[in-house]
Structure 1
Amino acid sequence: MAFIMIAVLIDMVSIGLIVPVLPALVGSFAPDPTEQAWWYGAVAFAFGFANFLGAPVLGALSDRFGRRPILLLGFCGLALNFFATAMATSLAVLIGVRLIGGAMQANAAVANAYVADITPPEQRARRFGMLGAMFGMGFILGPVMGGILGAINLHLPFYVAGSLALLNLAYGYFVLPESLSFAQRKPMAWRSANLVSALRNLTRLTGVGLLVAVMALASLAQFMMHTVWVLANSLRFGWGPGENGWSLFAVGVMAVLVQGFLLRRFLNWFGTRRFAVIGLSSGAMAYLLWGLATEGWMMYAVIACNVFAFGATAAVQSLISNSADEHSQGQTMGAVSSLNSLMAVAAPVLATPLLAMVSHLTLPDWRVGAPYYFCALLQACAALFALRYLRTHKPEPASAAAATFDSATH
C-alpha cells in the first residue's frame, strides 16, 4: 500500500501543478473572456474524450499483463503530455497534445485496481479513502507550487510537472512491485475493451445499477466544477494563478483530513451506504453556496464546511469494487474510470457554455454562479439515487464496518 500511495502522490502533484495555469495558457492564445471559456472547454474535452476511449483498453490490459506496466505507460504519457504542452505554439497543437496524453493515461483506474488486488473486500472503503488522501495531498502541494511557479513563468509548471512524471516513471520501474499474480490474470478480450461493454459489465454486477447512476451524476458535477473553478474565480474575483492555487490547496487539505483521518470515524458512525448519501447531500449544498458566493473568502468557508462530501466517492467505489471478483478488478475499475471519463467529456460541453453565457456579468449578480447551480442539481439527484439504493438494499451494520476499518489500519 505504501508503494502505490507514493506513486499516486507524485502523480497527483504533477497533475495539480498545471491546474492553476492551464486556463491562463489557453488565454494566451484566446484573450477574450468568452472565447477563452470556449477554447478552455475544447482543451478539457480533448483530454477527457481520449481518456474516455483509452481507459477501458488500459484497464483490460492491466488485467492481462499486470498493473505495473500500465502504470509505467501512464507515467510516460504524462511526462510527454506536460513537456509538449509547455512547448505548444497554438491552440490546435495544445488540443492534439491533450488528446495523446489522455489516451495514454489511466493511472487512477489502475491504482484503484492495484489497491483492490492487495486488499480484502471488507477493507476496501478504508483503503480507497487512503488512496483518496494521496490524491488530496497531491492537490495540496501541486496547485500551490503551480501558482507560485506560474507567477514566475507561465510555462515553468509544465516543465516541472513533466520532470515529476519522469521521477514517477523511474520510481515505478525500480521500486513499485506488481500486485496482480499470474493466477489472477485473464486473457485480453478486445471486444469487451470499449466503453459500451465496460459499462454493460459494470451494470451487471450485483446491486450496482443504481450506484452507476450515482457515480455518473456525482462525477459529472465534480468535473464541471473542475472545468470552471479557476476560470470562474478569475472572472468573478479577479484571482490569478496564486489565488487559485491556494484555493485548491484548501480543497486538498480538506480531502486529506477527511479521507486520511476522519473517514473511519464517519463510517463507524453511519455505515458505508448511509455515509454515501450524507456526503453527496453535503456536496450538493456546497455547489449551491459556491454559486451564491460574492467574495473570495466565502469559497474557503464552504470548503471548510463541506466535510462529509470528501469521503463520499470512496464509499461508492468500495460498494462497486466489492461486487466484482478478484479476476475483474482492473476491468471494473477501468469501467468506473471510463464512466468518469465519459463525464469528463460531457463536463466541458455543459460547463463552458454556461460559463460563457455569464462571463460578461459581474458580482453581485447572482447569475454568475450558473455553472455551480447546475452542479448542485446533479449532485442532489445523485444523493436521491443513493438514498433509493439505501432503501432497496440491506444496509451494512456500522459496527461491522468499523471493525474492518480498524483492522485495515493495523
Structure 2
Amino acid sequence: MDVPLGAPPAAGRAAFGFIFVSAITTAMSFGLMIPIMPALLKQFTGGDTAAASEWNVVFATVGGVMSLFAGPILGLVSDRVGRRPVLLVSLCGLGVDFLLMALAPSLTWLLIGRMISGATSGAFSTANAYVADVTLPEGRARAFGWMGAAFSFGFLAGPAIGGLLGEVNLRLPFLAAAALTLVNVIYGAFVLPESLPPERRVARFDWRKANPIGSLNLLRSHHELFGLAGIHFLNQLAQMVWPSVFVLYTSYRYDWSPVVTGLYMMAGGVLGVAVQSFLVGPVVARFGERGAMLIGASASIVGFIWYGLAPTSLIYMACMPISCLAGLLTPGLQGLMTRRVGPSEQGQLQGANQALMGLASVVGPSLFGLSFAWAVRHEVLPGLPLFLAALATAAALGLAWRTGRAASKI
C-alpha cells in the first residue's frame, strides 16, 4: 500500500491501516444487510413490491434528512476535538441501527434505527478527513482510491454472506452486521490514535457553520471548490439509485434471489477493488485528477443506460467491466477538493460533503424509488430510475469538464 504520508506525529501508516480496515468492516456490515433489507420491508408490507419501494423511500429520506443536519455538526466537532471520538461515536450509532433492525417488531422501530444512524452518520466522512490529515496533498487521490477500494472490498464477502444468512433467517444478517460494527468500535477505542494534533484544531466551535446553509460558506469560499461540490452532489444523487431500487429492480426484472444478488454485489466488489487499488494511481499520474473524474463519470453514464436497457441477467452483467470504472471519479474529486482547504478545515469540508450526501439521500430515494414504483404499477420502462441516474451523472460530467479544468491547476 504505497500511500505517501504526511507529518502529523501521532499518525502514520499504522493509523491509515486501521482506518482502511475500519472502512472494510463498516462496508461489510452494510453489505451484510443490503440484500436483505428490501425482503424485510416486503415481509412487513405483505409481499407488495411497490409498497416496499415506497417504504424504502421513507427510510432513506429520513436517514438523509438526519445526515443533512448532522454532517456539518460532526465535521466541525472533528475539527475542534479530533477525528477519533467522532469516528467512534458514528460507528456506535451505526451498530445500534443494525441491532434495532435485527430486533424491530414493526416498521416504526426500523424507522427509529434509521434516525439514530442518520444522526451519527459521520463514519466515512470523518475517515476521509483522517486520511487528509495523514497524507500529503499529491498522494491524496491515491489514498482516497484505497479508501474506495476498502469500501468495495467490504462488499466482496458482505452481500454474499448476508444473502446466505438471510436464507436461514431474515434478521440474522442484521445481528451479524451489529456485532461486526460494535467489535470495530471496541478495537478502535484501544488502537486508533488521533490524527489531528491540538495545534492544528479550530479554536472554537462555531454554531453558525454547524448547519447545511452555514457549511456551504466553506464551499463558496472558492469558485472552483463550489463547482467541485456540485459534482460531488450530482454523483451522490446518481449513486442513490443503487440503495433505492437495485435489489427490488433486479428481483422484479430478472427474478434474482438474495443469494444471487449477494454474489453479484461480491463480483462488483472485486472489480471495484481492482479499479481503486490498481488503476487510480496510474490514471491520475497519466491524466490527472480531472481526467480521472471525466473517465469515471463517462463510465458511470454508460453503465446506467446499459443496466436500464438490459433485457436479461447476462446482458446486465456484461457491463460490469465498464461501469466499475466509475470508481475513478470520487478519488480524483476528493484529491482536488482537499487541496483547497487547510488542515483545520478538512473536517468541515468533509462535513459539508456529508451534508450534500444527506441532501442526495433526501432527493434520491423519492426520485428513484417513486419512479420505479410508478413503472412497476404501470408495467412500463422498469429501467426509468437508472435513466434518471444517467442524466444526473451527465450533468456532473459537464460540470467536471468545466470546473475541473480550473481546479486542476492548483
Asked if these proteins are the same fold (TM beyond 0.5), I'd say yes
Q: Which residue number corresponds to residue 149 of structure 2?
A: 133
Corresponding letter in the other structure for 1:348: P
Deviation at 1:382, TM superposition (A): 0.6
In structure 2, the partner of 1:29 is 44
Match of 2:401 among 382, 387, 395: 387
Is the aligned partner of 1:220 residue 2:220? Answer: no
Indicate which of 121, 127, 130 corresponds to 1:105.
121
* Distance 1:307-1:43 versus aligned 2 partners, 3 A rule: closer
Letter of the structure 2 residue corresponding to residue 260 of structure 1? S
Which whole-Å CA distance do the structure 2 matches of 1:270 and 1:292 have between them?
A: 31
Q: CA deviation at 1:266?
A: 1.2
> Percent identical across equivalent pairs?
37
- Aligned partner letter, 1:285: V
Which residue number corresponds to residue 81 of structure 2? 65
Hey, what does 2:361 align to over in structure 1? Answer: 344
Between stretches 131-140 and 39-48, larger displacement belongs to 39-48
User: Does structure 2 conserve the Cα–Cα contact (< 8 Å) formed by 1:125 and 1:318?
Assistant: yes
CA apart distance, 1:63? 0.8
| Correspondences of 1:119-158 after superposition (within 5 Å) | 119-158=135-174
**1:212-254 alpha-carbon deviations (Å, 9 max, x no partner):** 1111111100012321111111111111211111121122111
Would you say how many aligned residue pairs link Structure 1 and Structure 2? 393
Q: Indicate how the Cα distance of structure 1 residues 394 and 45 shifts in structure 2: closer, same or farther if over 3 A, else same.
A: closer
- 1:203 CA drift (Å): 2.5
- Cα distance in 2 for partners of 1:375, 1:167 equals 36
CA distance in 1, matches of 2:354, 2:289: 21
| Change in 2 beyond 3 A, CA 1:244/1:394 | closer
CA distance in 1, matches of 2:304, 2:290: 22
Question: Is the 8 Å Cα contact of residues 83 and 162 (structure 1) preserved in structure 2?
Answer: yes
Retained in 2: the 8 A contact 1:211–1:389?
Answer: yes
Shift of 1:337: 1.2
User: Partner amino acid for 2:386?
Assistant: Y
Superposed CA RMSD: 1.4
Structure 2 match to 1:334: 351
Distance 1:214 1:104 in 2: 24
Q: Distance in 1 between matches of 2:39 and 2:217?
A: 39
1:9 aligns with 2:24: yes
Q: Distance in 1 between matches of 2:315 and 2:175?
A: 33
* 1:56 positional shift: 1.1
What residue is the counterpart of 1:171 in the other structure?
187
Query: Aligned partners of 1:205 and 1:66: how far apart in 2?
Result: 25
Correspondence 1:50 to 2:70: no
Deviation, 1:345, is 1.3
- Give the partner amino acid of 1:376: A
Gaps of 5+ in 1: 397-410
- Residue-by-residue CA offset, 1:67-123 (whole Å, 9 max, x unaligned): 111111012111111111111111122112211121012101100000001111111
Deviations 1:231-285 (A, max 9, x none): 1111111112111111211221111101111111111221111221121011111
Q: How far apart, CA to CA, are the structure 1 residues paired with 2:219 and 2:403?
A: 16
Contact 1:206/1:323 (CA < 8 Å) preserved in 2?
no
Q: Could you tell me how far apart the structure 2 residues matched to 1:198 and 1:131 are?
A: 24
Deviation of 1:390 (Å) = 3.8
Of 120, 130, 137, 1:114 maps to 130
Amino acid in the other structure paired with 2:383: G
Letter in 2 for 1:351: F
Q: Does 1:95 align with 2:111?
A: yes
2-side partners of 1:310 and 1:298: how far apart?
21
Q: TM-score, normalised by structure 1?
A: 0.93
Q: Is 1:271 aligned to residue 288 of structure 2?
A: yes
Map Cα deviations across residues 347-402 of structure 1 (whole Å, 9 max, x no partner): 1111111010111466xx6x110000000111111101111124445657xxxxxx
Given candidates 331, 341, 358, the residue that maps to 2:375 is 358
**Greater CA drift, 38-47 or 111-120:** 38-47
Contact 2:76–2:348, Cα closer than 8 Å, also in 1: yes
Please tell me the residue identity of whatever aligns with 2:127.
A
Tell me what 1:184 maps to: 200
- 2:270 equivalent to 1:253: yes
Specify the alignment match of 1:371 in structure 2: 385
Question: How far apart are the structure 2 equivalents of 1:38 and 1:369?
Answer: 17
Give the conservation status (yes or no) of the 8 Å contact 2:295–2:328.
no
Give the 3 Å change call, closer, same or farther, for CA 239–188 of structure 1 in structure 2. same
Counterpart AA for 2:277: G
Distance 1:390 1:174, change over 3 A: closer
Residues 74 and 392 from structure 1, CA distance in 2 versus in 1: closer, same or farther, beyond 3 angstroms?
A: closer
* Residue aligning to 2:337: 320
Instruction: Give the Cα–Cα distance (whole angstroms) in 1 for the partners of residues 247 and 186 of structure 2.
Output: 32
**SS of residue in 1 equivalent to 2:318:** helix
Change (3 A) 1:100 1:390: closer
For residue 256 of structure 2, give the secondary structure of its aligned residue in structure 1: coil
The alignment's TM-score, normalised by the length of structure 2, stands at 0.93
Please give the alpha-carbon distance, in whole angstroms, between the structure 1 residues aligned to 2:168 and 2:387. 34
Structure 2 counterpart of 1:235, one-letter code: Y
Is the 1:150–1:156 contact (alpha carbons within 8 Å) kept by the matching residues of 2? Answer: yes
SS at match of 1:271: helix
| 1:33 positional shift | 1.7
Instruction: Give the Cα–Cα distance (whole angstroms) in 1 for the partners of residues 252 and 222 of structure 2.
Output: 44
Choose the corresponding residue for 1:41, options 53, 57, 70.
Answer: 57
Alpha-carbon displacement from aligned partner over 1:165-224 (angstroms, at most 9, x marks no partner): 111011110111111101111121122111111122122235212211111111100012
